[in-house]
Structures are given as C-alpha cells and as structure tokens.
Structure 1
Amino acid sequence: MNWSNVEFQNPEFFWLLIVIPLLALWFFFKRKKDAAVLTVPSIKGFTTKSSFVSKLKPLLYLLRLLALAAVIVALARPRNVSVSKRTKTNRGIDIVMAIDVSASMLARDLRPNRLEALKKVAVNFVNRRPNDRIGIVVYAGESFTKTPITSDKLIVKRSISELQWGQLKGGTAIGMGLGSGVNRLKESKAKSKVIILLTDGVNNSGNIDPRTATELAKELGIKVYTIGIGTNGMADFPWSKDPRTGQLNFRKQQVEIDEKLLKEIASETNGRYFRATDNEKLKAIYDEIDKLEKTKIEDFKYYNYKEMYRPLVFLALGLLIFEFLLRNTIFKSFI
C-alpha cells in the first residue's frame, strides 16, 4: 500500500489518543488491586514460587489499549485516495506562418542575418505549441505552401530549418503570401485561425492585392499578426553575386518596410502589428504572440476512495475477544 495516498476524513478524533497514556498509567497503579490478597502473620513454612504466566498479566491491559487505539484510528476514517486525470483540449488553433524569403532577408542587421534569426525563433515558437496545428507558407515574388497545416511538429521544424533564399523569383509579394495563408486556413474547423505574416519590405510584386487578401481573411475570421523585420536606418543588403566565388556582395542601404500596410492588415483582422529591429525584439514578439494565442486545456481529476476503517474495527474486536479468552482461561486463576 502507498501510504502517501492515505488521508483521514475526521482527523480531529486523533485527540482521543491522549487517553491512551493516561489509561496506561491508571492500569499501572491499579494492577496490584486486581490481585487477591491473603494476609498471614508469617510465610515461614511456605515455599514461594514465581509464575511466568502471572508476569504476563499486563498483556491483558496492553490488548485493551491497542483495541482502543484501533477504534480511535477507525473513527478518524482513514481512506486510500487514488487520483486519475484526463486532459481535454478544445479544437485548438490552426496557425500559418507566412515567411518572406526574398533576398533582402539576408540583410545583416539581425545576427547572423534576418532569415537565420527568424528560423531559430520560429522553431522555438513551434516547440511551445504542442496542441496546435501549424503550416508554413513562403513568399518572395510569388508564394507557395511549403508545409500544409499539420500537427506533426517535426515536419514543421524541418521545413523551417530548410528555408533559404533563392527558391522563388525576386520581389516581395505580400498579397500573395497572405493569400496563400488564407487559402490554407479557409477549410479549417479550428476554433481559432491565425496567420503570422513576416516581411522586411514593401509589396512590389505578385498579382494579389494585399488589401484583397486582407478582406478574405476578415470574412473567414482569420486573425493576422504582422511583423516588420529590420532595423531603423541603414543595413547591409546583398546587391550582387561574385561570378567567380558565388558569394554575395553587400552594401549599405536604407531599410524600407511598409508599416502602414502591415498595420492596416493587422487592424482589419483584429490582429496586431509588431516591429522587430533586432534579435531580442524578434524573440519577444513571438513570445508575446504565443501568450496571446493560447489553446484552452482543461484537466479533469477523478478521485477514487477506498475506506480503510473496517479492518481497524475488526482488529479492535479481535483484540478484545482475544483478551476476553485469555482472561477467562490462562489468567483466570490470577484474576
């Protein structure tokens, strides 16, 4: 038996245990009066012999005290408690991460560059969403779904780690990135549908207007969190590739983010706009989104009680019967 699971429903009865030592003292001082006394002027001529059985007579008092202690513990109602748990989640949250993978995401104002900084933060975000489904959409001059919405976090994290520049033609098609995210979520039955749209530029490509995609998201009840990534001022941007080595050449360039558009997209869909100017702020943004969008988890506990007072009552009864039998058999001649 695991005694750590035992509780007492009426522990106040333990105060009665104070009676046990008092009765023990009372029995101790009373023991001589229980024996018959014969007064004689002299014991000369008598042979005295000590009886082993007579020395065991205090055992009768001990049995009574043990029986009383068992009754007191039984009154305290000991019971074994076993707890079973069941976790219930609602239909969760379906999240699409729409990620800009244009060449400007290689800018070095975040360490080591914007894209690598994002990948690290995005993986940590996925790790904190065990009960939600997540999909990945990438876009530059066009867009495509890299990972459909899935609950398999290993697939999602592998897709994020594989993100790289050069998979799509140049430009920044914010409308197409948002539209692809909306298309992924339009059939979703989740209680909450969210798009996290990240970009570092302005909409300059694609055949879907960002405001049109915003209206579709609004009609479908999709909340859009927009993130503008890039420092304020100048940053090292890639502008050409060395034909001999294949390495990118960088030069200082003004950071341009269409914050007005991003704020409008977020506002129209009841989301929020964030600006990530460094690695720490980018991490803080994903931490905040993680707190804002939580799947409701309910824990149900079921308590099973097994009463344990009955064996104690039977023990007390057995001790009293045993004491009665000893008193009227073995110890009868000494009482």
Structure 2
Amino acid sequence: MSFAHPEVLILLLAIPLWLWWWWRREATQRTITFSRAGLLAKGPRPRIAWVRWLPWLRALALAALIVAVAQPRSGARAERVSSDGIDIALTVDISSSMLAEDFQPQNRMEVAKDKVKRFVMGRKSDRVGLVAFSGEALTQVPLTTDYPVVLAAIDNLQVGQLEDGTAIGTAIATAANRLRNSPGRSRVMVLLTDGENNRGAIDPRTAAQAAGTFGIRIYTIGVGTDGMAAVPVGRGLFGLRYENRPVKIDEALLTEIANSTGGRYFRAKDAAALQSIYEQIDRLERSAVEARAYIRYTERFRWPLLIGLAALVFELVLRARRGILP
C-alpha cells in the first residue's frame, strides 16, 4: 500500500488537537443558566450516551476523508529491475543474390527472414534494430523493444528495395551509428550476407575498426552452399531467369571483421545451420542491464471516502433526531 500524496497525511495530527479542544469546550459549557427551571422540561432532552459519540464520529469522518485525499493505492509501483538484455542491430543483405535457390524449398531471403524473426521472438528485454543493405544501407527500425514492429519490418524486407550490390562497409557504418550511443552495456551487430563487398565508399575493415572503438561486437554470417547455386540474372517472359553460378562469399573478410571486434564468423550452408548460428549468438551474448518495469496501480481511495461520508451522515442523523443542546 502506498499513497499518491503522502504529505496530506500530516493533517491527521490535527485530529487529536481538535478532540482536545472539543472536550475543553464541553467542560466549560456544562452549566447553562435559566430564569426558570420549568423551561428545561419543555426543551429537547439529549441522551448523554449518544452525545458522547459525536466527537468520535466527526474525528472518524475527518480521518477517513484525509486518507481518501492522500489517494491510497496498491498492487504496483514503477521500479528498476535487473534483467538480461543487450542492444542488437540486425543487419540483413537484401541484394539480388539473396534470391538464390540453394536453400530449397525456399530461397536464401525467405530462410534468412524466418530465422531472424525467430531470433527476435526469443528476445525479452533486448533492444533490437534492423538495417537492410545491398548497394546502399538503410535503417528499417531503430533500436526498440517493440518487437511486433521489428517483426513486421522483417516481413517487409524485399530484394529490390535498394540499389543492387553488396556494400558491407556501408552496412556496418549504418548499424554502428545506431549502436554507438545506445544505453546498453553490451552492443552487438549481427551481419548476414551472401556475397563479396563490391559497392560503397566505406571500406569494411575501416568500418569494423570504428565499430570496435565503440565497444560493438560484430557477428558475421556467410549464407550459401558450397559449389554452384541457381542465382537470378534477369527477367524473362515467365519471371526471373536463373543461372547456375559459383557461390562467392568473402569468408576471409567476414572473419577479419568479426575477429577485429571480438565477435565470430559463422557459415550457414542450409536453413538448420542458420538457425543454429542464431542460437549460438543468443547464448554468447548475455549481460545484465537495468530495465524499468511498469505495473498499473489499483486505486483504494473509495473505501475511506465512503467511511468518511457515512460517519458524517450518521452524526447529522443523531443531531437531527435528538435536538442536541449546544
């Protein structure tokens, strides 16, 4: 139980003083002078036992109303609690090569979206952001704990939203810019790509070093099978036209990026491997952060208010029925 306005409760100290004043006044007014004693027989005759209740009823009414004004409430309060949580920037490649169909029955893009969504749904107090990149990079969702918004943004990721290509350095710089001022003690970037850096003015190694100075760990994931994969190369009469081409992932670059920031490089050759990688990252990144929990209060002022009003009504009824003498 707590009070919204506890300072009002100091008025309760005035009630004993009021009772003391009331009894002193009664003691000085017990003798009433009349010219004829017969007048007393015609006047109202109070019952002394009822009269004694009056100051206590008034005191009860005042005390209950003061408590009601102080606004008692129960059931909750806003407090800081310690929980596991990290700041995560999910950085996803949406270049045209992500439509390669080597993760049958789905392509790389659909499998990546599914596994990223599962990763987000496992969050509790982590702040999660989403950056999409191809030939350029764009923040889709800033860091937030509003997971439905993040999931909806992942669903909306489509190849062709940005200029084609693979600008890994630009992607790292964009995600790092979101993480560098985040309040979390642990800052993580998960970068998923299926190609080699071929676009953008920012060198990936330079971007990774800059991210490392902000305490950001980068986990890189190379997506794609070994050997050949059916990759879209244009549009024909019946939709996308595919050709079998060798899978080219710059694993040396992705490994260097991860190692320079204290992270790790993973290779996902199928959907199960990609799922396992996100689970490993989840286990690797656990750190205590402070979060604020909010719970709604239950207001309790109605009961003291009703008690105070009932006491006042009872006092008035006693005075009206018996015609109390002053």
TM-score (norm 1): 0.61
> What residue is the counterpart of 1:227 in the other structure?
221
Unpaired stretches in structure 2, ≥5 consecutive residues: 1-78, 291-326
> What residue is the counterpart of 2:298 in the other structure?
none
SS at 1:232 equivalent: coil
1:129-178 per-position Cα deviation (integer Å, ceiling 9, x unaligned): 11100000010000110111111000000011111100011110000111
- Asked if structure 1 preserves the Cα contact closer than 8 Å seen for 2:85 and 2:124, the reply is no
1:138-177 matches, cutoff 5 A: 138-177=132-171
2:234 corresponds, among 233, 237, 240, to: 240
Q: Distance between the aligned counterparts of 2:99 and 2:81, measured in 1? A: 43
1:292 corresponds, among 284, 288, 313, to: 284
> What residue is the counterpart of 2:92 in the other structure?
99
Q: Distance between the aligned counterparts of 1:106 and 1:205, measured in 2? A: 19
1:102-129 per-position Cα deviation (integer Å, ceiling 9, x unaligned): 0000001113000100111111100111
- Asked if structure 2 preserves the Cα contact closer than 8 Å seen for 1:196 and 1:227, the reply is yes
Identity, % of aligned positions: 47
Amino acid in the other structure paired with 2:224: G
1:10-63 per-position Cα deviation (integer Å, ceiling 9, x unaligned): xxxxxxxxxxxxxxxxxxxxxxxxxxxxxxxxxxxxxxxxxxxxxxxxxxxxxx
Q: Distance between the aligned counterparts of 1:278 and 1:90, measured in 2? A: 33
Aligned length: 211
Query: RMSD of the TM alignment (CA)?
Result: 1.6
Summarize the Cα distance change of 1:286–1:91 in structure 2 as closer, same or farther, 3 Å threshold: closer
1:89 Cα offset (Å): 2.3
1:13-24 matches, cutoff 5 A: none
1:116 corresponds, among 110, 120, 130, to: 110
Q: Which moved more, 1:287-296 or 1:112-121?
A: 287-296
Q: Distance between the aligned counterparts of 2:210 and 2:86, measured in 1? A: 19
SS at 1:237 equivalent: strand
- Asked if structure 1 preserves the Cα contact closer than 8 Å seen for 2:86 and 2:289, the reply is no
Q: Distance between the aligned counterparts of 1:91 and 1:291, measured in 2? A: 11
SS at 1:168 equivalent: coil
Who wins on radius of gyration, i.e. which is larger?
A: 1
Unpaired stretches in structure 1, ≥5 consecutive residues: 1-85, 299-335
Q: Distance between the aligned counterparts of 2:177 and 2:87, measured in 1? A: 13
- Asked if structure 2 preserves the Cα contact closer than 8 Å seen for 1:131 and 1:295, the reply is no
- Asked if structure 2 preserves the Cα contact closer than 8 Å seen for 1:91 and 1:191, the reply is no
> What residue is the counterpart of 2:191 in the other structure?
197
Summarize the Cα distance change of 1:121–1:201 in structure 2 as closer, same or farther, 3 Å threshold: same
1:295 Cα offset (Å): 4.2
- Asked if structure 2 preserves the Cα contact closer than 8 Å seen for 1:108 and 1:236, the reply is yes
SS at 2:125 equivalent: coil
- Asked if structure 2 preserves the Cα contact closer than 8 Å seen for 1:132 and 1:295, the reply is no
SS at 1:194 equivalent: strand
2:257 corresponds, among 258, 261, 265, to: 265
Summarize the Cα distance change of 1:190–1:248 in structure 2 as closer, same or farther, 3 Å threshold: same
1:296 Cα offset (Å): 3.5
1:26-41 matches, cutoff 5 A: none
1:186 Cα offset (Å): 1.2
TM-score (norm 2): 0.63
- Asked if structure 1 preserves the Cα contact closer than 8 Å seen for 2:184 and 2:289, the reply is no
